[in-house]
Structures are given as C-alpha cells and as structure tokens.
Amino acid sequence: MIIWIASYPKCGNTWIRSLLSAYYFSKDGEFEFSLLKNIKQFPSIDFFQKNIDSVEEASANWIPIQKKIKETNKVYFLKTHNVFGSYKGNSFTSPEYTLGAINIVRDPRNVITSLMNHFSIKEEEALKLISNVNRNLRDRNDKNNYATYSFISSWNNNYNSWKFTKNINKILIKYEDLEDDIERSFTRIIEFTNKIMRKENKIDIKRLKRSIETTSFDLLKKKEEKEGFDEAIYSSDDGKNKSFFNLGKKNDYKKLLKKKTVQSIEDIFKKEMKELGYL
C-alpha cells in the first residue's frame, strides 16, 4: 500500500520527504541525501520494466504498477506531483492502493518565485506555468521515454484534486506551518502516518527532534554545496546545476515579485487562497 506525499511542485515535498526518511529510515534521525532513495517519485523509470512510448501507455500502467506494489504487502512512501483523478481515461490511483496521503500546499505567490529560480525563467512565464491547467512534467533526460510523465495541472487544480478525494486517509500540511512551528507540524505528520500504518509505539521524540535538526534549510543548503544534490536541475546557461535549496525564508514574494504579478496570482487563485488563509 502507498502513502502519497502529494503536492504541486516547489511546495515542500522534498522537505517532507527528508523529514520522513530521516525519521523512518535512519538509525537515529540523522539525515543523509541517500535516505531519499527510500521515498521514490511516482511515476518514474524505477517502476517500469521497459521504455514507455506515449502518454497513453504511461497512464495505462499507473494502476497495474500500484497493484504490484500492494501485492508486496509492504507500505511505501511515494512522492508525486500528479493530480488525483483520471487522465487519458486512466485513474492515477484509487483507495484500493492508497493507504493515505500527505497533501502539501504553499502560498502560490511564493511558489512562483521558486519556479523562477528552478527553471531560470521570468515571472511572466512562471505565472503561465502555475496557472496552466494542462501542465505536465517529464524528466528532461528521458526525451523518448514517458515513464516519468506526470499530469500536474495548475496550482489550484492540483490542490483541489487531492482535497476532494474520497475514501482515503489524508492530512493537509501548509508549508507556512512547517516554517512557523516545524515540531508541531512534523508531530502531526508522524501521528498520522503511525496511525494509518497501525504502529502502536509512541512517537520517538529524540528521533523526531534529530530529524528536524538535520533537515533544517541551512544544513540542507550547505550539504548540497558540499555533496551536490541529484534532484537539482541542470542549467544550460552556465553548464552547472541550479541550487535546489535556494532562498529558504528569504523567498518572500513581497520583495521578489512585481505588484502586477502578485495581483494576477491573487485574482486567479482567489477562492483557494482565501480558503487557506493566504488572503
């Protein structure tokens, strides 16, 4: 069975994966980048036994692959940016294969600034990305392989798709709550995951705090500078990888975006932003 870590890109998915991998897959809560291999992205080439030639073939395999995962009788944490729903007539997932979902959401005004850095684009282009209902993702290194294809849609469609899921256990985590009170937020996550995995043991407070300490933004940034980070994106501008852990709390749309862009985001996503307390 699968516990999804689901979000629109640049909403904190990697942070949650780091915390969970340190807590569940290390000896003492000490985080290392290698631990992230325990929480793979879905879909990805790791789950396909052959080259996938089309979007239709990729989406047709999502459920069969999850069926095989369920047959292992193990619980897997999987990262995804895919919407919850059907695409090309094929369901992304279902309650039959989903144990639960951690849905992460972030103020779109700060998501857009992260997109600008990640893809080396200007805010006008980033605004088009975040509001594109037809947006998809595919690994740039797999030009002839659709195994990594994800349909992510727009920021609000992605959020709403997981919000309106039925018959699955889920928890909503706001990125801003992680920043404001990481211990409280991560405790909520562990309480949720322990419960759905039917773990009777209490939360290991020492391990939890160590997981938090070793996944702080500053430490992750220094770690990336020293060791590199596999998930950083390659920049054709200078032939180097873009810094994945870029601004942290300095990522403040008030200082980084034009007022016109901010207004556009607030107009497009007004309903969801009000609902989430961003307006």
pLDDT for residue 21 is more than 90: yes
Burial 18-50 (b: 16+ CB within 10 A, else e): bbbbbbbbbeebebebebbeebbbbbbbebbee
pTM value is 0.89
Query: Average pLDDT over the chain, rounded to whole?
Result: 88
The pLDDT value recorded for residue 164 is: 92
Could you give the CA distance from residue 192 to residue 200 in angstroms, rounded to a whole number? 12
Q: Determine the average pLDDT of the residues in 109-121.
A: 84
Q: What is the pLDDT of residues 155-172, one digit of tens each?
A: 999 999 999 998 899 999
Q: Which residue has tokens 């990640």?
A: 118
In the three-class reduction of DSSP (H, G, I as helix; E, B as strand; rest coil), residue 212 is classed as helix
Contact in structure between 19 and 211 (CB atoms under 8 Å): yes
Q: Which domain holds residue 232?
A: 2-275
CA distances to 53, 96, 238 from 146, in Å: 6, 25, 27
CATH number at residue 139: 3.40.50.300
Contact 82, 151 (CB under 8 A): yes
> Residues 31-55: pLDDT tens digits?
988 999 999 999 998 898 888 988 9
How many domains are there within the chain?
1
